[in-house]
Amino acid sequence: MKLGILVILTGVVVMISGIVFYLQGNSIVGPTYSFMYSNPKWIVNGQLIAIGGILILVAGLGISLRRPRS
């Protein structure tokens, strides 16, 4: 059960990071001197990182909802 919660939290952190990277690539958030600011490469990277976070989150939910076999 604790492993599932750890994986869920990891997925949430990765997903939020991907969203922030996406927004920085679109010039919405972040300092203007950042290498990610207004950089189209980070729009794609942010999307891929956010999708990876969602997949990790789903895996964590699967682990935490798994019932022990008896």
State which residues form the domain around 20.
Answer: 2-65
11 found inside a domain: yes
Give per-residue pLDDT as tens, 6-49: 999 999 999 999 999 999 999 999 898 999 999 999 999 999 99
What pLDDT, on a 0 to 100 scale, did the predictor assign at position 66?
A: 87
Q: Is residue 70 part of a domain?
A: no
Residue 49, in any domain of the structure: yes
- Number of domains within the chain: 1
Task: State both tokens at 27.
Answer: 């010039």
Per-residue pLDDT at 1 exceeds 70? no
**Could you tell me which of 55, 56, 47 has the C-alpha nearest to residue 18?**
47
User: Is 45 a domain residue?
Assistant: yes
pLDDT computed for residue 70 by the predictor: 56
Question: Domain for residue 32, yes or no?
Answer: yes
